[in-house]
Each structure stands twice: as C-alpha cells, then as structure tokens.
Structure 1
C-alpha cells in the first residue's frame, strides 16, 4: 500500500458568491417601505498552508478534488448572506505549486507559508445596496460571481541541509540511522529505501538535517530505477555526500567508478553543480573494504574531495564526519545573503489603461475582454430587463460602447464579452445612454417620490380633472 506520495495533480474549486436579494420592505400601513434586499456572502478561498506535521501528499493522491463552500444568498430585511468558509489544505514544507504546463506558481518553504490556489467569488449586491438618488427602487439584484477553478500540480522537494547520494545498498540508510534518531528500513537487498528519510543531527553548536535519498543507478536522470522520482529531493540540500561502497560484491564496480556515474547523473539532472561535496567510504569494517578504501583515497583527495573512511555498522569515524558536515553546513548558511525586509511594490495603473480591450476577430465578431466587464456580465440576471439595462449603463460609463464605435462596430454586429469558452454574445445596437430611452429611468418608482407641496398637489389634481373633462367632451354621444 502506498504510504508516501511526493507529486500529485490537484483540482481545486473556490466557493461561489451568494446572489443578492431583490426585496421591498412591507409592514402595516406602509406597504412600500423601500428596497431592503441584502447582499450575498463571499465564497470561500482554497488556501495551501505549510504544516511541519505533514510529510507526504498522500491525502491528495486519494482525493484530488477539493472545493470550498459557497456564500449564502442575501435575504430581505437587509440581511446579508453568510460568507463561505475557506478551505485550508495543509502541505509539507518544501512543496512547489505548478500549473499543468509546468510553470511555478509558488514555492512553499517555512512553517505557515500560504498560497491562495483558488479565490472565492464575490457576493452579489442586493437591491438595497443598488439604490441611489436616481434609482430609488431597483427591481433587481446582482448575482454572485462563480468561484475560481484551477488544476495545479503539487511537487514535494525535501528541505534538508545534507543529502546522502549513492548506489543502492551503499549504506546510506545505515549511516543516517547512526548519525540521527531516524529509523529507516535497513536490509541486505537493493532499493530498501523507497522514500526519502529525514534525520536531525547535532554536532557541537550546529544542528542540521540530513536526508537519505533512494539509491541511484546509471540512467536515473532519465527515469531508470527510482532516481528521477527522488532526485528532486536533492535540489534544496546545501551539501551532497557521496556514500561509496568499498565492499561491493559486483566485480564491475569500484568506489571511483561509482562516484563518476553518480556525478554524471547529477550533472544530467542539472542545477547541482555548485553544491559542496564530501565523500564517505563506507563498510571499512570489512577487511577487503578497508584495503580498497586506503587504495582509492589518494585518487579521490587528488580530485579535491574531502574523504572520510567510516563504518556505519561499527560506528567508526562517525564523529569526525558529523563535525565536518556541520562545518560545511555552517559555511553554506553564512554564505547565503541576508534576507531583505519585505518590500511592497506598488504598480499604479497606466493613465491610458481603460481596464478592458476590444478586438475584432476574423469572423467579424468584436470581443471585449477585461476584469470588470466580464465580472459584470456574470453578475447579471438576463431574465430581468431592468438588470440588463443596468449592465448596459455600466458598460457605457466604462467606455465600452465608445471603444466599439472606434473599433468600427456598426449596428447589428456581433459582440462577445468574455473568453471563447464562456462568453455572452449579442447583436450590438448603439444607443445614446445605453438603452435609457427604451427602458426609461430604470429603478425609479413614482410611489417613492418625496411628498409634493399642497399647492402643487392641488394644481396637479386640477390638471387631471381638466384632462378628464376634455376627454369626456370629445367622446360624449350628443
């Protein structure tokens, strides 16, 4: 049964915003008390958070579809809908977030680091929030915006200071078990280690982490064995330790050729050429192993490597190795540039940025793209003429109609707002005030007009009586 997963494809969906409510306040002796529709609640976000207690992506391997809750719709009486709850997804330290094309979206390192994988939709405004001096009684409300959808790839890269690399059965698991409190599986057959193991080592005043990576073989960088799956766990390590087997039973292998092959695989994988190296000649408790270690040591030192002959089984040479690794880790940490204080970069919008674009496509269709027009379209209830008119007014004020005219659009031309797979398409009819002549002053109701002075009411009633008398005189039968 799989217990460790370090790469998954995750399908996340944020919650949609709740719809706004179109309602009119009513009570005894006051049937038309004004609009009181509440706003819809915001949809929940999907947030990735680094949790040190999580070490694998196994949970997301079994259930890759995750969705946050949606906001509740608004209600009458100026009651806003409840916001959707954010969905918190814990991930291991060192998780890299990518899109399906391999572009890195976030590199999550450090406890509590967060990344919003999908953003919740806005809640729609109720008619109470849409009312104004010109629009006293809106008969519509805005719909909630759908939540964001995203397919992402989570890839775990172990965060450690030191990585043990080498052939299978070279003694890497035995070494990490005696240097730290880690208890990896140890056996006398190849590929015992199937997942990376982490251990914490204390040497003097220096504390560092060490990772045991599954064994590499020729062709590992091209996917042979387990190398390609776990070479990514070496990328974050500051120091590489070559664990070489001096007591191998294979006649075509020796420590120097093993080192050359592993270095070739690391070079082909890329990005590891500048890491400091150290060579460990293991299994010197075996007589032939000790003799071979003494034989190849001068050649390795001549290449510039710091060489340690040890026995993980007999605990020989471990103290010197531990302090040498601590010294290399300390130097690597000191060489890192100091972290700069977080700076806020402000990029003001260009003075000529209209917030949308208008482009004519090959089939003669004019396509409008922009965050505001597309969001407004999603929030419009097209079964409500007043809501459609409100959308038209908003687009006109934004300058969409003027831009269409400049682009050459004529009456009856097709206009699409949004992307090709999810757009609203209509035949464009230019207007002076985006249809205000046809639909009147949208959202206004004479029943909500302020009281008129007594003299004005008397004149209006007299005018109504005069009009009725004229109509009677015109149609009387004699």
Structure 2
C-alpha cells in the first residue's frame, strides 16, 4: 500500500558553472592567432513544479538529497561548455516551501506553478570573451560560480473547498463516498482514514472539492494520534463540516462532547476561527441515531449552527447538504479578491547604493560584502597572477578601495571578502588598486604585437651578443 507523506525535509543543490578556458588559437604558419578560449556552461537549476498527478511527498522522504548537473568547462576553438541539465521536481498541488526557520518561501497552488529552489551557478568567461582593445590576449579565464544549495521543508496542505472533520468512525469517509465519486477505505474501527481523501461534488452550477480529513481526538493539536499531522489540511478550506456520530456505541461519548473536543483542538491549532461551520448529524437511518439527533438538535441550533440530518446508507438529506455547501463555497469564492493581471514592478536602486558594504569588525578585520565582489572572488584563479590583477582592477572600478580608505583601512590591515564561512582574507595594500603594475601591462602579450623590421631585429641581436661577450671577458672563474 502506498504510504502518505505530507511533510519532508529536502536538501537541494544546483549545478556549478563550468570554468572558462584560456587558450590561444594555433594553426600552421600562424602559431599565435589570438585568444580562443570558450565560456563555461551554466549549472542546472533545481525547480519545484506542481503536478496534479502527484499526491504525496513520499518520493522525497526516501530520497531527500537532490542535485542538478554541473555545467561543462569551455574549450579552445571558441567552444563553449554545455549547460547543466535543470532538475525538475514534481510536487502536489498545495505544497508550501519553507526554510529551516519556518519562513514561507513559496506557496505552490495550481497546475504548473513553479519555484526555483536552487539556482545554478553561471559559467566562467573564457579568455576570448575577456579580450578587449586594452587586453588583447588575456592569459587567464574566469572560474565557474558554484550553484546554490539549501535545506528546505515541504509541507502539503490539501487544496479543497470543504473539510469534513470529526472523531474517527464518525462516517466522514462514507459521506465523501456518496457525495462524490471518491472511493476511500471504509471500515468500522478508529483511524481507518490514514490519508486525506479528496472528492469532487457537483451541485447545480457549482463544482467544488471536499476533503475527508483523518479523525481527530483530544490532544491532536499537541501531536496526539494523527491530528497534528493532518490539521494543516483544513487550512485552505472555505467551510468546515462537523460530522457527528449520533449512533456511537461508545458509552463515554456523545455528539455534543465530540463537537466541543474538536472545536477545542481547532482553536488550539489556530487560524481557523473565521471559517463558517456546518454540523452534520450522521447515521439518522438508525432508530437510536434519529432519536439522539432530535434530542441534541435544539442545543446545536441555540449555538448558532446550521444543522443537517443525513444518512450515508439511505442517502437521506444528502442533496440538501450538497447544495448548502455549494452556496457557501460560491459566496467564499465571490468574496475573494480578483487576481489582477501580471504587472512588472520596477524597483530602482538607490542613487547611493554602491552594491557592496565595508564594515570594520571587532577584531580589526575589514569585511566586504556584496553580490558582485563575492562572485568575482569565487571566479578568480588565485594561482594566476594576471587573474588576481584583473580582480584587483574590477574591485577598484567598483569603488572597494575607496570605501576601504574611507573606513580607515591602512596598509597591512586585514580585509575579508565574503561571509565568515567562505571568505577570502588578505593583507590590504593600497597599491593593489593600481593593479598589477608590478606585473606589467596585464593582458597584453608581446607575442601578438606587430612584427619588428628585420634590420631592427638584427641590431637587437647584435647588441645582446656584444653585451654577453663583454660580461664573459670580465669573468674570472678563480676570483
């Protein structure tokens, strides 16, 4: 039998971006034809999408770790790496996505609704893309950005218009089976219903869904029995239907007490105070059930409830009940605000927003935070001096060095770019902004300069030979 799971913790990781390629085009008679390193491919996203054919989160309960594929690295000959494949995870309608702290990230309702749970990293640029009039032949490429990863919680909240609530064996499954075409499991013992059953009911021009929620017992809101596990499935309903068993064989129970217990659990759970209530007195086809219904009906009416006496066996009162529910559902739908057409909201950045921040921490470390500088650091190959110089120039153009000076940084002070977990820490030198002046003119390879005249090359060779001969003549191996 398929197990129903409506809450799971999922670990998602997007694919990493592929590294860019540093390559020089070579062919016969043209060994240095210019940079031709391709870009790395984008890492795949992890996307949740609502699929009506999926009704449980069981698959993610057994396999909670999901990862998209990485982008491929770029290659020479201007060949870009292949993008990683997006990982699409189907989820039931009504799935709520939360972070580890319980904050709602997305509420997925409606076929095809999507949410990108983890975004793939962008691919690194190859040296062909980094070439410019000033940087004709970069000897480096950018690394791919790691994909996002996070732990999320998926909770399924059934999407239904009507929720049947009540004690186990009150007849909720029987009612849904005769009101709709649903075929739930029905038996005469507690906790027969282990999963919420959904049925579709047509009453006149109104079509609505009805959910049979597993039975509640005292203490359900604190986790006793199955109540806490399934109370979330009544949150989206427009109307709550109390199904009371008027023919119960348990001597310590009576319909009014059952109603008070269920209402106490719903109040304890919270958020359901404004839902309209209807009371259904079930099993009135049994003589004792009919007598008890007549006795308690005045008390229920005095409390302000709308009462329906029904029998799932004889079909007594079902038509009146279905049309009454249709009326309440129609009113609830009409009261909902109409969805407005999709609008594009433009939120321009503040004129003084530099895109990064510089803060002085208690230990004297200056920390730089911002999307661009942190991404640039992740893309830098620190084993390549030219790549480090390129990073320095980018940070300088962004204004990082200027802000460090304003914050009081001095030569030799520690600077960290990024969060505490993955920061790059270095001793700051103001000359870093002037780049790698020590490295010469970065990105300019003299091999690609225009060839010098033959006479000039001969003069240079002769001068080098004469200089070497003079050094040799003055050399005394015995000191």
Query: What is the DSSP-based 3-state SS (H/G/I as helix, E as strand, rest coil) of the residue aligned with 1:431?
Result: helix
Query: What is the DSSP-based 3-state SS (H/G/I as helix, E as strand, rest coil) of the residue aligned with 2:265?
Result: helix
Match of residue 297 from structure 1: 297
Whether the 8 Å CA contact 2:285–2:314 is kept in 1: the answer is: yes
Q: Give the superposition deviation at 1:426.
A: 1.0
Instruction: Work out whether 1:18 is the aligned partner of 2:18.
Output: yes
Once the two structures are superposed, the pairs formed by residues 439-478 of structure 1 within 5 Å of their partners are 439-450=439-450, 460=456, 464=460, 471=467
Match of residue 477 from structure 2: none
- Using the alignment, how far apart are the partners of 2:302 and 2:313 within structure 1? 28
- Using the alignment, how far apart are the partners of 1:279 and 1:469 within structure 2? 108
Query: What is the DSSP-based 3-state SS (H/G/I as helix, E as strand, rest coil) of the residue aligned with 1:289?
Result: helix
Match of residue 208 from structure 1: 208
Once the two structures are superposed, the pairs formed by residues 144-159 of structure 1 within 5 Å of their partners are 144-159=144-159
| More off after superposition, 133-142 vs 435-444 | 435-444
Query: What is the DSSP-based 3-state SS (H/G/I as helix, E as strand, rest coil) of the residue aligned with 2:434?
Result: coil
| More off after superposition, 468-477 vs 440-449 | 468-477
Q: Give the superposition deviation at 1:193.
A: 0.5
Query: What is the DSSP-based 3-state SS (H/G/I as helix, E as strand, rest coil) of the residue aligned with 2:430?
Result: coil
Match of residue 234 from structure 2: 234
Structure 1 residues 196 and 356, CA gap change in structure 2 (3 angstroms): same
Deviations 1:267-298, CA, capped at 9 Å, x for gaps: 11111111111110001111111001011112
Task: Normalising by structure 2, report the TM-score.
Answer: 0.95
Once the two structures are superposed, the pairs formed by residues 77-92 of structure 1 within 5 Å of their partners are 77-92=77-92
Whether the 8 Å CA contact 2:392–2:432 is kept in 1: the answer is: no
Q: Give the superposition deviation at 1:403.
A: 1.1
Task: Normalising by structure 1, report the TM-score.
Answer: 0.95
Match of residue 162 from structure 1: 162
- Using the alignment, how far apart are the partners of 1:307 and 1:121 within structure 2? 59
Number of residue pairs aligned between Structure 1 and Structure 2: 474
Match of residue 362 from structure 1: 362
Q: Give the superposition deviation at 1:2.
A: 5.8
Query: What is the DSSP-based 3-state SS (H/G/I as helix, E as strand, rest coil) of the residue aligned with 2:225?
Result: coil
| More off after superposition, 314-323 vs 76-85 | 314-323
Once the two structures are superposed, the pairs formed by residues 309-328 of structure 1 within 5 Å of their partners are 309-328=309-328
5+ residue gaps in structure 2?
Answer: 475-479
- Using the alignment, how far apart are the partners of 2:389 and 2:2 within structure 1? 57
Once the two structures are superposed, the pairs formed by residues 417-436 of structure 1 within 5 Å of their partners are 417-431=417-431, 433-436=433-436
Once the two structures are superposed, the pairs formed by residues 382-421 of structure 1 within 5 Å of their partners are 382-421=382-421
Query: What is the DSSP-based 3-state SS (H/G/I as helix, E as strand, rest coil) of the residue aligned with 1:12?
Result: strand
Alignment RMSD (CA, Å): 1.9
- Using the alignment, how far apart are the partners of 1:164 and 1:475 within structure 2? 102
- Using the alignment, how far apart are the partners of 1:280 and 1:313 within structure 2? 14
Instruction: Work out whether 1:137 is the aligned partner of 2:137.
Output: yes
Structure 1 residues 212 and 466, CA gap change in structure 2 (3 angstroms): same
Once the two structures are superposed, the pairs formed by residues 252-267 of structure 1 within 5 Å of their partners are 252-267=252-267
5+ residue gaps in structure 1?
Answer: none
Match of residue 184 from structure 2: 184
Structure 1 residues 450 and 278, CA gap change in structure 2 (3 angstroms): same
Structure 1 residues 382 and 465, CA gap change in structure 2 (3 angstroms): closer
Q: Give the superposition deviation at 1:165.
A: 0.3
Match of residue 106 from structure 2: 106
- Using the alignment, how far apart are the partners of 2:146 and 2:104 within structure 1? 25
Whether the 8 Å CA contact 2:100–2:153 is kept in 1: the answer is: yes
Whether the 8 Å CA contact 2:18–2:74 is kept in 1: the answer is: yes
Structure 1 residues 206 and 366, CA gap change in structure 2 (3 angstroms): same
- Using the alignment, how far apart are the partners of 2:23 and 2:88 within structure 1? 35
Q: Give the superposition deviation at 1:220.
A: 1.0
Structure 1 residues 28 and 469, CA gap change in structure 2 (3 angstroms): closer
- Using the alignment, how far apart are the partners of 1:95 and 1:78 within structure 2? 44
Q: Give the superposition deviation at 1:432.
A: 6.5
Structure 1 residues 19 and 189, CA gap change in structure 2 (3 angstroms): same
Structure 1 residues 176 and 465, CA gap change in structure 2 (3 angstroms): closer
Query: What is the DSSP-based 3-state SS (H/G/I as helix, E as strand, rest coil) of the residue aligned with 1:273?
Result: coil
- Using the alignment, how far apart are the partners of 2:125 and 2:18 within structure 1? 9
Match of residue 71 from structure 2: 71
Whether the 8 Å CA contact 2:167–2:258 is kept in 1: the answer is: yes
